[in-house]
Amino acid sequence: MLLIDTSVWISVFRDRSGQIGKQLETLIAERQVLLTRFTQLELLQGSLNEKEWTLLSTYLETQDYVEPTSHSWLASARIYYDLRRQGLTVRSPIDCCIAQSALENDLLLIHNDRDFETIAQVRSLQHEYFQP
């Protein structure tokens, strides 16, 4: 199963040629795709107008989500803490939450975000950098 990060969806939505979407479809193939509510939040907050909001929110409601547990929050904070203790930083604690969701659910995280490369230095994160 795959967890697709916001960074990948943004690349797909911005690409007017449709080539990045085709690359993602090939990568996904027949595998199940999951999202986090963080991705839902990040995509919706980037809506340019009401029409885009409605279209995107309708689409996102049809997707499957992995939900954090009460343990997820502590474990996510621990990722951030462990990174800082090693002199490593990520731009957003949300990325720690997304990584923790992938870890807890044994998901391959597909991303286009260097922060996950950093997180993988302190956790056994299964991840693949999506290079459009």
What is the residue extent of each domain of the chain?
2-129
- In which residue are the tokens 């604690």 written? 93
Q: Above 90 in pLDDT, residue 109?
A: yes
pTM comes to: 0.93
Q: Say what percent of the chain tops pLDDT 90.
A: 97
Residues 62 and 42: their CA atoms lie apart, in Å, by 17
Looking at residue 132, its pLDDT comes to 80
pLDDT one-digit tens code per residue, 46-55: 999 999 999 9
Q: Provide mean pLDDT across the span 75-81.
A: 98
List, for residues 5-37, the tens digit of each pLDDT value: 999 999 999 999 999 999 999 999 999 999 999
- The CATH number that domain 2-129 falls under is 3.40.50.1010
The end-to-end CA distance of the chain, in Å, is 20
> What is the C-alpha radius of gyration for the chain, rounded to an integer number of angstroms?
15
User: How buried is residue 3: exposed, middle or buried, by Cβ count under 10 Å (0-12/13-18/19+)?
Assistant: buried
Tokens matching residue 58: 């309708």
